[in-house]
Copies of this chain bind each other. A is one copy, B any other.
Amino acid sequence: MLIEILCTGDEILTGKTVNTNYSHIARRLADLGFAVGRGVTVGDDREALLAAFREASARADAVIVNGGLGPTVDDLSQEVAAEAAGVDLVLHEEWLERMQEFYTRRSRTMPSNNRKQAMLPSTAEMIDNPIGTACGFAVSIGKARFFFTPGVPREMRRMLDEQVIPRLLAQSGLKGVSRLKRFHTFGIGESRADEMLSGIETLAIDGAVKLGFQAHYPQLETKLAARGLDAADLDRKLGAVEAEVRRRLGSFVIAEDDGTLEGVILSTLGAHNGSLAVAEMFTAGNVAARIAPLDGAERVFREGLVARDLQHLCRTLGVVAEKVEPEAAKAVAAALAKRSGATHALAVLIELDQGADRLEFGGNICIGLAAPGTLLARPARMLGGRDWVRIGATEMALDALRRHLQGLPVDERIDFERR
């Protein structure tokens, strides 16, 4: 089954807004094994929309249209869809009532132009939008089934998962439900992860699980997309594969699904009445900035200290250290733990290479960690330019703390360091 994605709107066409809706839709479909043949973007223009609808209907089996469902005059999707389908635009009473309730619940009167959002092609199937006033709809144009979704990302995402994908699965003849299991790792590149997981798909019952990766430095996302008859069937099909991926990726897994490295640290520290202080140099407060703003961090995060100069950092904490080395990182962490009263103190010291920023530019990183009964240092060298080193060092510091909290080796070699 061939699918196309058609994005509408002047903001997208002119590049004012980066089209992240497209990449979200395409990724979700690819995760499920659907083939996306083409992406098309057109503006809020009647002729351009009509041409794009007609052309897509001649090529594809299914077309996902995003945007153009709003209440203003430049939102043309329903109207042009009706024209392309050769049917009238009619008022969908049920959705009009839903919108009126939506406004009544908020003690507001519905503006009259919202009525436009309940006008659908007469042959359309209304698709629910539980969190907005733009309903979606499905309608056949030529040989293709068109699915219209709102441009607001959270509305589109929910409608895609709950309403559109089940219909696509049904249309494609695929029965049942789907699930995406995600593992987030730090320290391994895509090609190494691919090797570590070689043959993993064959563990799945009747090939129902598809493996994929998405790299966003310094993290790598490993995805298992599965299809099954129902939730129990999915549990059964994914179970063995999930467990084996978790085992093979081992201590590199920083979080799963919607979890994050910083979230895991915060909840683990919180569960043990732990608290945290951080001292940073070139990472410039980025380690603190990952933890401190989180909901609940006020009970855990005690203090962050940033200094670009090692001597200033040491003076502030009453420590004597000459250069970035393990003993200095330990001394800074210990002094910070003492001063702040935090159970855990993390120090990220960096000595940058001299000279202009370029790919070979690097830095010597030394992470220090003071925790009850523990005082350790983790040295590393990273290359790749200033930003790359800063991003890598921030992640490595957080990961060192996570590894310690989970009883894992803190000095396991990662792909991004040179020794």
What class of interface size applies to chain A in its complex with B? 35 or more
Q: Does B295 contact A284, Cβ atoms closer than 8 Å? A: no
* In the assembled complex, A301 has its CB within 8 A of some CB on chain B: yes
Which listed residue (B19, B309, B339) contacts A298, Cβ 8 A?
B309
Docked complex: A12-34 residues within 8 A CB-CB of B:
12-20, 22-28, 30
Q: Does A16 contact B22, Cβ atoms closer than 8 Å? A: no
User: CB-nearest residue of chain B relative to A25?
Assistant: B15
Binds B, one of A38-46, A70-78, A119-127, A369-377: A38-46
Q: Does B301 contact A304, Cβ atoms closer than 8 Å? A: no
What's the nearest-Cβ distance from chain B to residue A366, in Å?
17
User: For A15, A19, A27, which residue has the most chain B Cβ atoms within 10 angstroms?
Assistant: A15
A364-393 interface mask toward B, CB cutoff 8 Å, 1 = contact, 0 = none? Answer: 000000000000000000000010001000
Q: Does A38 contact B27, Cβ atoms closer than 8 Å? A: no
* In the assembled complex, A320 has its CB within 8 A of some CB on chain B: no
Tell me the bound Cα distance from A304 to B305 in angstroms: 5
User: CB-nearest residue of chain B relative to A52?
Assistant: B38
Which B residues are CB-close (under 8 A) to A36? 13-15
**Knowing A20-B18, A306-B285 touch, does A40 contact B37 (C-beta < 8 A)?**
no
Give how many copies assemble into the complex: 2
Docked complex: A280-329 residues within 8 A CB-CB of B:
280, 282-286, 288-289, 291-293, 295, 297-298, 301-309, 312, 316
* In the assembled complex, A267 has its CB within 8 A of some CB on chain B: no
Tell me the bound Cα distance from A20 to B19 in angstroms: 8
**Knowing A285-B285, A285-B286 touch, does A302 contact B307 (C-beta < 8 A)?**
yes
Q: Does A312 contact B308, Cβ atoms closer than 8 Å? A: no
Which listed residue (B14, B26, B278, B308) contacts A301, Cβ 8 A?
B308
**Knowing A17-B23, A30-B15 touch, does A304 contact B307 (C-beta < 8 A)?**
yes
What's the nearest-Cβ distance from chain B to residue A87, in Å?
25
What's the nearest-Cβ distance from chain B to residue A273, in Å?
16
* In the assembled complex, A1 has its CB within 8 A of some CB on chain B: no
Tell me the bound Cα distance from A283 to B390 in angstroms: 19
User: CB-nearest residue of chain B relative to A316?
Assistant: B303
Tell me the bound Cα distance from A12 to B19 in angstroms: 11
Which listed residue (B26, B291, B306, B339) contacts A288, Cβ 8 A?
B306
Q: Does A27 contact B15, Cβ atoms closer than 8 Å? A: yes
Which B residues are CB-close (under 8 A) to A257? none
User: CB-nearest residue of chain B relative to A37?
Assistant: B48
What's the nearest-Cβ distance from chain B to residue A55, in Å?
8
Which B residues are CB-close (under 8 A) to A14? 26-27, 30, 36
Which B residues are CB-close (under 8 A) to A295? 357, 386
Q: Does B284 contact A292, Cβ atoms closer than 8 Å? A: yes
What's the nearest-Cβ distance from chain B to residue A281, in Å?
8
Tell me the bound Cα distance from A286 to B285 in angstroms: 7
Q: Does B20 contact A39, Cβ atoms closer than 8 Å? A: no
* In the assembled complex, A202 has its CB within 8 A of some CB on chain B: no
Q: A37-B43, A40-B41, A297-B308 are in contact. List 11 more A-B contacts (CB 8 A).
A: A13-B36, A16-B23, A17-B23, A18-B18, A37-B42, A39-B42, A55-B55, A282-B292, A285-B304, A288-B306, A303-B306
Give the 4 A-B residue pairs with the shortest CB-CB distance, closest first: A285-B285, A15-B26, A304-B306, A284-B292
